[in-house]
Amino acid sequence: MDQATALVALSEKDLEITRATKKLSELPEKTAILDLRHKLREIEALSAKASVYVSQLHAALKRTEDETATISEKIVAEQAKVNSGAITNHKELQSLSREIDSLARQKDKKENEVLAAMEKLEAGKAQAEKVAATVEKGKLKEAQLISQFQKVGGELQTSIDRAIKERAALAGVLEAPLLARYEAVRAAKHGMGVGILQGDMCSACRIDLPFERIQALVSGGAIGECPSCHRLLVVPESARS
């Protein structure tokens, strides 16, 4: 392979590697994974809050149940005093009876509170389960996207690795000063270091070159420099003959 052919092939290989690397970094699966993770974090935070809320409702229910039990115990104790016959004083008995009535009303009220707390707890649990299910669904979707990304990305990476090997072989064909010049121009020109003279035009900067410049290039050999963009300019054999 002559120097000009190897130079053009190397330049094309480098563009191929750049394109594939860019494609890999911009795979839609990757963006989708990042978006989904962002949403998942929000839902997970919501789920944690819902769990805290449910345990608060649990505690509130337990408290109300305990209070109800305490009142019930008091009623039983007061009723036992009445039933024991130990208290014979009429006024004392009346006062005890009033106390028991009052406790019974308190107990009714507490029992209603227990029911309300139970309903609240059930609603809270249902909400928390719904959020937890959304998290699970999101995690499943994330796993699917990751395996899809690994498949598509893996194929791309394989072709990039292959292209890098081919690139090394092409670079090995070039003489050291030419390779060094190519690398320097490529770095300065955002990845594209070589143009081809197509008619009067440099294929890299797409500028029509003046006649005398073309004459100089054609008589100068297979590899020159574009007077417009200063990239390496390959002059095809057809233009030189």
Q: Minimum CB separation from Zn ion for residue 203, in Å?
A: 8
Q: Which is nearer to Zn ion, 217 or 226 (CB)?
A: 226
Residue 68 contacts Zn ion per CB under 5 A: no
Residue 195 contacts Zn ion per CB under 5 A: yes
Cα gap 103→101, rounded to integer Å: 5
Stretch of residues binding Zn ion (CB under 5 A), selected from 6-14, 18-26, 90-98, 200-208? 200-208
Residue 163 contacts Zn ion per CB under 5 A: no
Q: Minimum CB separation from Zn ion for residue 21, in Å?
A: 24
Question: Which of 194, 204, 217, 232 contacts Zn ion by CB under 5 A?
Answer: 204
Question: Which of 218, 229, 236, 239 contacts Zn ion by CB under 5 A?
Answer: 229
Cα gap 148→27, rounded to integer Å: 10
Q: Minimum CB separation from Zn ion for residue 219, in Å?
A: 18
Residue 226 contacts Zn ion per CB under 5 A: yes
Q: Minimum CB separation from Zn ion for residue 225, in Å?
A: 9
- Total residues at interface with Zn ion (CB under 5 A): 7
- For Zn ion, the binding residues (CB under 5 A) are 195, 202, 204-205, 226, 228-229
